[in-house]
Structure 1
């Protein structure tokens, strides 16, 4: 499998390394920004992108004026949350790929990290507000690529059943990171991580129902997943 050069990394604000960077923020300003983005991620997951900004400021422990200084428009905050989540997802995928550990264990660690980011709760709420092309332009990397590499390594090592494809990894993360109906269940996150471990163990060759038995339904490889993601979020159809 040929390797392609990695894109230039983005800085902490999502600006590509080959573009002029904005002035470095003071430590307190950077901390406020991170708290706002973390709070917004949780509130958007719970209440959607039209949630009250006052609630986001309250959870972040900052005044509403501070929030507006950082993000003058709601659209600015929504875009920043999407880029922040996707940047963290890319970092988790790169860490797992570069660690040189057992590829199935690396895949497991990445999936748990993605679960903690609540990717399946946050990103669906932002559909129609930000496109995948906007996110990728800012982040300049795609978590799908290192995850596909991890999957290839696991296949080559014989650690997972041969009919497991890219979509079986990503779509399960999306499903498990959505909250249980009713909300407010304290054990929800812990249950999701437990169920993820059960699922990953089921990816092993011994998890096959029997010789020659293949999984039913559509099989989304990485290219098909990217097209699917583009249809859902807008853009990214290539």
Structure 2
């Protein structure tokens, strides 16, 4: 890319990263807060995204495409069906698409394109669920909606910095997966448990 195009691409990435951070922390934040966090001028942001709604649509579209990519990759696995399903769950937790659902669902008008992505994501989730149940390694009374809500619970874990958040999310995901698997499993959980100090620190602002 030319220098100007490369700079525009960098700015776009900065804007999207900032928008995700700003709006998952506060869905009601103004679009100016995104420009400030991204370190770009508000005019540069508006040239790319003419409204907050357009920016939210882009964020959620990217989240759906990432979900689809993770699920398609898991479905392409031809080995152990449980490991493919476990890889799917870990991939979704790493992608953190459920944080967008928790914070942004119902805050903007979905586009037709988003509707198509959502239908594709739903179909893929149904397929990997069906395949894993039929393999006899996933509880048959568990629905795809159950899994969606469990993943939202995992995404709600926010203790410490990004590394610690990821560590704790995967610890609780491992615990959740042991309850879903057939026959029931009991493996050593990854990472140390959250401490009382970590939990109580969320109530202190440091002032």
Q: Fold match, TM over 0.5? A: yes
Matched residue, 2:198: none
Q: Please list every run of at least 4 consecutive aligned residues from structure 1 whose deviation after the TM superposition is greater than 4 angstroms.
A: none
Deviations 1:98-156 (A, max 9, x none): 2323222222222222223333322233214133755124x375212122211222122
Query: Unpaired runs of 5+ in structure 2?
Result: 186-207
- Name which of 18, 31, 37 aligns with 2:16: 37
Looking at structure 2, the residues matched to 85 and 144 of structure 1 have their Cα atoms a distance apart, in angstroms, of 13
Looking at structure 2, the residues matched to 59 and 118 of structure 1 have their Cα atoms a distance apart, in angstroms, of 20
Counterpart mapping for 1:107-146 below 5 A: 107-126=85-104, 127-131=106-110, 135-137=114-116, 139=117, 142-146=120-124
Q: What's the RMSD between the two structures over aligned residues?
A: 2.5
- Name which of 159, 172, 183 aligns with 1:206: 183
The 3 A distance-change label for structure 1 pair 190 and 140 is closer
- Name which of 49, 57, 77 aligns with 1:79: 57
Do the aligned partners of 2:57 and 2:110 also contact (CA within 8 Å) in 1? no
- Name which of 159, 170, 175 aligns with 2:153: 175
Q: 1:46 offset after TM fit, Å? A: 0.6
Answering whether residue 160 of structure 2 is matched by residue 185 of structure 1, we say yes
Q: 1:73 offset after TM fit, Å? A: 1.2
The 3 A distance-change label for structure 1 pair 101 and 39 is farther
Do the aligned partners of 1:85 and 1:119 also contact (CA within 8 Å) in 2? yes
Looking at structure 2, the residues matched to 39 and 101 of structure 1 have their Cα atoms a distance apart, in angstroms, of 38
TM-score (norm 2): 0.74
Do the aligned partners of 1:108 and 1:197 also contact (CA within 8 Å) in 2? no
The 3 A distance-change label for structure 1 pair 132 and 167 is farther
TM-score (norm 1): 0.65
Matched residue, 1:7: none
Do the aligned partners of 1:107 and 1:147 also contact (CA within 8 Å) in 2? no
Do the aligned partners of 2:75 and 2:128 also contact (CA within 8 Å) in 1? yes
Looking at structure 2, the residues matched to 177 and 145 of structure 1 have their Cα atoms a distance apart, in angstroms, of 22
The number of equivalent residue pairs is: 179
The 3 A distance-change label for structure 1 pair 112 and 58 is farther
Do the aligned partners of 2:133 and 2:140 also contact (CA within 8 Å) in 1? yes
Query: Unpaired runs of 5+ in structure 1?
Result: 1-24, 209-238
The 3 A distance-change label for structure 1 pair 42 and 155 is same
Q: Which stretch of structure 1 is more off in the superposition, 196-205 or 26-35?
A: 26-35
